[in-house]
């Protein structure tokens, strides 16, 4: 059954016979590399754009599918030398001419060295011919740094961001947008085949073209960014890098200024937990947010406030979180309209009427009075700031104050707080999943290190999940009001909310269409379950769409998230959805715990939207026995989604997957999978 509103079957681009041989060889090499490859940044960003990442290691096959080995920390800078092939394997320091075949994990290009050895090259794009130096060799694959482009990829685009070269948080800026969408769709298709076991010949029918952001909504779309303070800054720019025009010079100037002040404010450099790439303006947020960023930097410098340094205990500043809300629906990012007209930094455009900002100053332990002058200076400089909050970062587990690159994972955790597991799995479920911006992949956002802004410490080093001990409102209101799909949500300084509301509405419409279609064919009284409901955005949108005659039950492990969900329900009329708090692995095993009148009884459709680690096995088993006619699986991690699709095989058949581009310019993509009960 084809979910309502989806396009007819779509076709992958016709294969190039010449390239087909290379791809076949590549596929074979990657299969043999799977057992050894470490998981790619299953980020956060982090998302900028999809990168906070709270990098979560997935099971072996998922990790391997991403072909994401751990990047080398310090590239070999020895003099160029010719390849020393040993059985087709290059050596560290060899300089090679390569052609990028496709993108792998972390938006790194997958290239084949002479002899067919797989090399992962950051910033290499499909079709690009380049010269690279090998920096790391493992049993099944290696890594290399790009030295120069010999022939650009066919659909190159000038990166608009001046920090593109140094930051690396939006690696797909250098691709035309339609090519970005194709690469994201291809990534989803590859994972479904390699992890999910979907036959390659079925991909045309199953994987839809990616739903992309319209023109004017591809920059300035984020309503939340988290930045990191640091005394150590990085000003190095890769060769052939930089934004358009004088972008590289602007980025270098920002870095030089930060070094002179001893105060960097930006995103964490990839592979580090305390080195900051200073950011003058981030194009993923609007002009008002960038003015707040500049005001915070200036105020901290003028007041003599220093970044926190864990070894010495000096300084207090850790992070700066900027949230925005506006008349245009908030979730689209209050700055989208500004950036649409002129995306270049420094354009001087004012903010649209009604834009409001909340600024959160995150520090190590200190009295709120120490940062109140900074809060007052920010608010005086930026009239759109209606709230300033001081949060104190909790000590890292096991003692210590954590790293200056500490990343956000608030009460709801990495993604939206979504429950689902015991022990370590439960912690993973509570990590946020949204990509946030970050330099090279580890940045500073309290969303999960899903791409943007730094996340829990991962194999590449970098930020740890940000945990907050306490918060105090210094100025203004404690929350911002966001709107999504006609509903109102009160969002606190560390609450989860979709960072791209415009595209989240596209995502929710796909979910609602599929649920409504299935419920229209089921007996009256059938229940819709929303597992990993978080703050209830999906459950409430479904209740609004389906009407009072349909029971919608949302469940999550996170008590604060469920409290927010119940408050959001009351703010939107008080009816339509019921929320249950508890460990999902236990809830689905206990008779009547979900209020269904018996184990699995009355379940019509189940919506799942787990954190990056995917569903726990008890939840998978519950779905298999639930008898639900349809499962709608929303995911920020196509690899674990593909794994779970394979686990459901036999009970459910995959009918369609739609990639949705919530994070333009980054490698991150949201997906919605539609599964039908076999024989149902």
- What amino acid positions are annotated as catalytic residues? 636
**Nearest 5°: phi and psi at 461?**
80, -170
Decide: 247 and 162 in contact? Cβ < 8 Å.
Answer: yes
Supply φ then ψ for residue 623, to 5 degrees: -60, -40
SS3 211: strand
Per the DSSP assignment, residues forming a β-bridge with 266 are 228, 278
Distances, alpha carbon 82 to alpha carbons 34, 91, 593, in Å: 28, 10, 66
Distance CA 105, CA 207 (A): 19
Q: Determine if residue 532 is labeled as part of a ligand binding site.
A: yes
- Any known ligand binding at 482? no
Largest CA distance in the chain: 74
By the 8 A CB rule, do 66 and 42 touch? yes
**Contact present, 510 and 660 (Cβ < 8 Å):** yes
- Distance, in Å, from the CA atom of 231 to the CA atom of 214, rounded to the nearest integer, reads 39
Collapsed DSSP state (helix, strand, coil) of residue 52: coil
Count other Cβ atoms within 10 Å, centred on residue 590: 10
Distance CA 50, CA 450 (A): 6
Alpha helix positions (H), 318-471: 336-341, 372-381, 423-429
Quote the CA–CA distance of 254 and 256 in Å, as a whole number: 5
Rounded distance between C-alpha atoms, residue 452 and residue 437, angstroms: 3
- CA–CA separation, 50 and 52 (whole Å): 7
Assess contact for 638 and 451: CB atoms under 8 A.
no
155/634 Cα distance (integer angstroms): 30
Secondary element (H or E) of residue 15: none
Phi, psi of 611 (to 5 degrees): -70, 180
How many Å apart are CA 251 and CA 264, to the nearest integer?
A: 12
Instruction: Label the pairing between strands 95-103 and 108-112.
Output: antiparallel
CB 375 within 8 A of CB 474: yes
Burial label for 61, CB within 10 Å (0-12, 13-18, 19+), is middle
Q: How far are the Cα atoms of 164, 298, 673 from residue 219, in angstroms, in the given order?
A: 13, 25, 26
Residue 514, CA distances (Å) to 3, 286, 545 in order: 5, 33, 11
- Is 16 labelled as part of a ligand binding site? no
Determine contact, residues 29/116, Cβ cutoff 8 Å.
yes
Residue 426 labeled ligand binder: no
Q: Which residues are annotated as a binding site for S-adenosyl-L-methionine?
A: 498, 532, 556, 609
């Amino acid at each position: 059954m084809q979910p309502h509103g989806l396009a007819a079957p779509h076709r992958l681009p016709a294969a190039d016979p010449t390239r087909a041989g290379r791809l076949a060889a590549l596929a074979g090499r990657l299969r043999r590399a799977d057992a050894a490859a470490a998981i790619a940044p299953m980020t956060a960003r982090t998302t900028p754009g999809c990168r906070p990442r709270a990098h979560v290691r997935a099971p072996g096959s998922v990790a391997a599918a991403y072909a994401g080995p751990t990047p080398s920390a310090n590239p070999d800078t020895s003099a160029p030398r010719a390849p020393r092939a040993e059985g087709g394997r290059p050596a560290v320091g060899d300089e090679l001419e390569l052609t990028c075949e496709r993108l792998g994990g972390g938006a790194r290009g997958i290239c084949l060295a002479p002899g067919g050895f797989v090399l992962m090259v950051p910033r290499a794009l499909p079709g690009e011919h380049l010269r690279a130096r090998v920096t790391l060799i493992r049993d099944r694959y290696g890594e290399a740094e790009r030295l120069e482009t010999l022939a650009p990829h066919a659909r190159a685009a000038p990166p608009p961001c001046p920090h593109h070269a140094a930051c690396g948080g939006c690696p797909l800026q250098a691709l035309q947008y339609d090519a970005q969408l194709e690469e994201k769709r291809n990534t989803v298709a590859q994972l479904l085949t390699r992890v999910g076991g979907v036959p390659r010949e079925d991909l045309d029918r199953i994987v839809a073209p990616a739903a992309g952001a319209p023109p004017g909504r591809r920059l300035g779309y984020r309503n939340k960014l988290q930045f990191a303070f640091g005394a150590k800054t990085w000003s190095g720019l890769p060769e052939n890098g930089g934004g358009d025009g004088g972008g590289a010079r602007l980025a270098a100037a920002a870095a030089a200024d930060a070094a002179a002040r001893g105060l960097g404010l930006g995103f964490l450099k990839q592979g580090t937990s305390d080195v900051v790439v200073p950011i003058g303006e981030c194009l993923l947020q609007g002009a008002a947010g960038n003015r707040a960023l500049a005001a915070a930097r200036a105020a901290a410098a003028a007041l003599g406030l220093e970044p926190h340094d864990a070894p010495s205990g000096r300084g207090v500043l850790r992070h700066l979180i900027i949230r925005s809300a506006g008349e245009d629906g908030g979730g689209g990012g209050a700055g989208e309209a500004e950036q649409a007209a002129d995306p270049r930094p420094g354009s001087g455009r004012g903010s649209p009427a009604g834009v409001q900002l909340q600024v959160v100053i995150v520090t190590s332990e200190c009295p709120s009075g120490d940062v109140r002058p900074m809060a007052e200076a920010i608010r005086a400089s930026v009239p759109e700031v209606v709230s300033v909050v001081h949060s104190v970062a909790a000590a890292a587990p096991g003692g210590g104050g954590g790293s200056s690159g500490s990343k956000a994972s608030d009460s709801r955790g990495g993604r939206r707080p979504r429950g689902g597991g015991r022990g370590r799995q439960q912690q993973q479920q509570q990590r946020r999943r949204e990509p946030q911006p970050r330099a090279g992949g580890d940045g500073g956002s309290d969303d999960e290190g899903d791409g943007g802004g730094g996340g829990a410490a991962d194999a590449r080093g970098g930020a740890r999940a940000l945990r907050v001990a306490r918060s105090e409102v210094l100025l203004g209101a404690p929350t911002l009001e966001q709107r999504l799909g006609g509903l109102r949500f009160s969002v606190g300084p560390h609450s989860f909310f979709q960072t791209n509301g415009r595209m989240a509405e596209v995502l929710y419409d796909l979910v609602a269409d599929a649920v409504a279609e299935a419920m229209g064919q089921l007996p009256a009284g059938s229940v819709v379950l929303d597992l990993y409901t978080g703050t209830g955005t999906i459950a409430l949108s479904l209740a609004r769409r389906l009407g009072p005659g349909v029971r919608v039950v949302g469940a999550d492990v996170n008590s604060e998230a469920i409290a927010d969900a119940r408050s959001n329900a009351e703010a939107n009329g008080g009816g339509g959805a019921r929320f249950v708090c508890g460990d999902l692995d236990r809830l689905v095993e206990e008779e009547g715990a979900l209020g269904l009148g018996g184990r699995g009884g009355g379940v019509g459709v189940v919506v799942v939207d787990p954190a990056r680690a995917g569903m726990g096995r008890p939840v998978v088993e519950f779905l298999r026995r639930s008898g639900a006619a349809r499962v709608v699986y929303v995911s920020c991690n196509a690899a674990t989604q593909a794994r779970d699709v394979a686990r459901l095989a036999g009970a459910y058949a995959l009918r369609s997957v739609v990639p949705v581009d919530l994070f333009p310019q980054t490698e991150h993509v949201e997906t919605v999978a539609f599964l039908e009960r076999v024989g149902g």
